[in-house]
Homo-oligomer: A and B are copies of this chain.
Amino acid sequence: MSADPADGTTARPTVVPGQRATRQRAAIGDLLDQLDDFRSAQDIHEELRRRGEGIGLTTVYRTLQALAEAGEIDVLRTAAGEASYRRCSDTHHHHLVCRTCGRTVEVEGPAVEHWAEKVAAEHGFAEIDHTVEIIGVCESCRS
Q: B-contacting residues of A (Cβ < 8 Å)? A: 77, 81-83, 96, 98-99, 105, 107, 109, 111-112, 115-116, 119-120, 123-139, 142
Contacts and interface: CB of A to CB of B under 8 A. Distances in A.
Given A81-B81, A135-B130, A111 B115 contact: yes
Q: How many copies does the complex hold?
A: 2
Given A105-B125, A120-B136, A128-B136, 18 more contacts: A77-B77, A81-B82, A96-B125, A99-B129, A107-B123, A109-B115, A112-B132, A116-B134, A124-B139, A125-B136, A125-B137, A126-B137, A128-B134, A128-B135, A129-B134, A129-B135, A130-B133, A131-B133
Contacts of A96: 119-120, 123, 125
Contacts of A131: 131-133, 135
B109 A124 contact: no
